[in-house]
């Protein structure tokens, strides 16, 4: 009786369309909230979150306030368990939370190529390595700013030539712009000659991250500037602490969207059953069993919810894939990325909500008193 269910929905096409649209909008928001939470999880628990350390100036937050001697790298390399040290100069256009944050990371181009999981989709590594004022731009930044290889890009005191655009297996990397360390150190207005923002430390396979971090801070204690060394994931979580709280609150917004879909579809299905109460009595009279009547109503609510939910999920996935959205603060960024998990969860939630929303009206349709219903005008 699938055709019967479809004709029933089409009979009140305006109500059906409004319900599907409402479900689509709610699931669109649900998927966006889910992508933010996934982005934060990837940033703080990725493969390199525990196997690399960040050496930062103690009691400093915004990258512009951390100024460590570049030669600290020599002392850090002497610590047992350290495989590689990369001095990084960080510059950002905004230390506060922003949806259009631009972050420059200045480092040795050879170390960038060796340690970063990035692949140039256009451009040339040789140009990046040979020209001091050149830069490679993450795919998301290129999308938001309309940049391509060969363009000249300026923001604040910094002006670079785009030597390439890259993609990465780590979504947050695609929100960065890499330049040479020397270029950022000697950019007018930064006054960072011989200084860096942080040292990124890559560990050997058998190294204990906490022990190495403590030894690094102890070895640098006699230096001119005190340091605080933490695993990269913990450092980024601390940097984004305000956003973490906000994203935690947004988690409840996702639940509210699910509740909205449940209420909307349930209300529509109840109205549909009440409008056709005589019809269900006639169906039972001609031999349709109560269980089958329940399945008819459940099919209606499930189709409504799945149609709207899948449409909203697909729209959100498409927008996330094309938009290159990200939010960041203090030089750390959270990338909003579509994922297979997000697609499956959006579809699964839509299916579950459709079934739950139809239970009460389905019971009403299955237990309708036949005689009383047939007497209704």
Kindly list the domain boundaries of the chain, sorted by start residue.
Answer: 2-44+242-375, 59-225
- Mean pLDDT across the stretch 294-301? 84
CA-to-CA separations, 57 to 60, 91, 176, 203, 320, in angstroms, rounded: 6, 15, 21, 20, 35
- Mean pLDDT across the stretch 262-284? 76
CB atoms near residue 209 (< 10 Å): 20
* Statement: residue 376 has pLDDT above 70: no
Round to whole Å and give the CA distance between 60 and 56. 8
- Mean pLDDT across the stretch 367-375? 65
- Mean pLDDT across the stretch 64-73? 86
Q: Which value, to the nearest 10 degrees, does the dihedral of the CA atoms of residues 115, 118, 119, 122 take?
A: -120
* Statement: residue 306 has pLDDT above 70: yes
Task: Name the burial class of residue 309, with classes exposed (0-12), middle (13-18) and buried (19+) by CB atoms within 10 angstroms of its CB.
Answer: buried
- Mean pLDDT across the stretch 300-320? 91
User: pLDDT band at 217, cuts 50/70/90?
Assistant: very high
The more confidently predicted of residues 8 and 103 is 103
Q: What is the pLDDT of residue 47?
A: 61
Which residue carries 């970063």 as its tokens?
Answer: 116
The more confidently predicted of residues 209 and 44 is 209
Q: What is the pLDDT of residue 189?
A: 67
User: pLDDT band at 212, cuts 50/70/90?
Assistant: very high
Q: What is the pLDDT of residues 145-200, one digit of tens each?
A: 889 999 998 887 788 999 999 998 888 888 899 999 999 888 776 677 888 999 99
- Mean pLDDT across the stretch 218-226? 87
Which residue carries 């988690």 as its tokens?
Answer: 251
Round to whole Å and give the CA distance between 168 and 174. 6
Q: Rounded mean pLDDT of the chain?
A: 84
Q: Which value, to the nearest 10 degrees, does the dihedral of the CA atoms of residues 74, 80, 83, 88 take?
A: -40
Q: What is the pLDDT of residue 5?
A: 73
User: pLDDT band at 371, cuts 50/70/90?
Assistant: low
The more confidently predicted of residues 251 and 216 is 216
The more confidently predicted of residues 251 and 259 is 259
Q: What is the pLDDT of residue 377?
A: 46
User: pLDDT band at 222, cuts 50/70/90?
Assistant: confident
Q: What is the pLDDT of residues 318-334, one digit of tens each?
A: 988 887 777 776 777 77
The more confidently predicted of residues 60 and 23 is 23
């Amino acid at each position: 009786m699938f055709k019967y269910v479809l004709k029933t929905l089409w009979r009140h096409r305006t109500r059906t369309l409004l319900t599907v649209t409402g479900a689509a909008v709610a699931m669109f928001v649900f998927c966006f909230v889910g992508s933010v939470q996934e982005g934060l999880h990837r940033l703080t628990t990725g493969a390199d979150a525990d196997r690399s350390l960040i050496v930062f100036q103690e009691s400093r937050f915004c990258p512009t306030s951390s100024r460590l001697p570049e030669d600290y790298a020599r002392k850090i390399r002497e610590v047992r368990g350290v495989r590689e040290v990369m001095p990084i100069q960080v510059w950002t256009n905004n230390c506060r939370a922003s949806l259009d944050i631009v972050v420059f990371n200045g480092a040795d181009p050879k170390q960038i190529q060796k340690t970063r999981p990035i692949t140039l989709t256009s451009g040339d590594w040789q140009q990046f390595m040979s020209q001091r004022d050149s830069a490679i731009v993450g795919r998301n930044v290129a999308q938001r700013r309309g940049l391509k290889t060969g363009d000249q890009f300026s923001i604040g005191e910094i002006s670079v030539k785009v030597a390439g655009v890259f993609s990465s297996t780590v979504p947050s990397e695609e929100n960065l712009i890499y330049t040479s360390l020397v270029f950022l150190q000697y950019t007018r207005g930064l006054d960072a000659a011989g200084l860096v923002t942080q040292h990124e430390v890559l560990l050997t396979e058998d190294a204990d991250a906490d022990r190495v971090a403590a030894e690094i801070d102890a070895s640098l204690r006699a230096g001119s500037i005190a340091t605080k060394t933490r695993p990269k994931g913990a450092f980024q979580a601390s940097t984004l602490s305000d956003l973490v709280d906000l994203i935690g609150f947004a988690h409840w917004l996702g639940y509210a969207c699910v509740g909205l879909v449940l209420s909307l579809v349930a209300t529509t299905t109840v109205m549909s059953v009440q409008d056709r109460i005589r019809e269900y009595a006639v169906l039972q009279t001609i031999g349709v069993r109560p269980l089958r009547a329940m399945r008819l109503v459940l099919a209606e609510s499930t189709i409504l919810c799945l149609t709207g939910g899948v449409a909203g999920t697909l729209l959100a996935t498409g927008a996330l894939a094309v938009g290159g959205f990200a939010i960041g603060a203090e030089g750390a960024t959270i990338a909003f990325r579509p994922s297979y998990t997000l697609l499956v969860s959006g579809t699964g939630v839509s299916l579950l909500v459709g079934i739950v929303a139809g239970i009460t009206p389905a019971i009403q349709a299955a237990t309708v008193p036949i005689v009383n219903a047939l007497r209704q005008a």
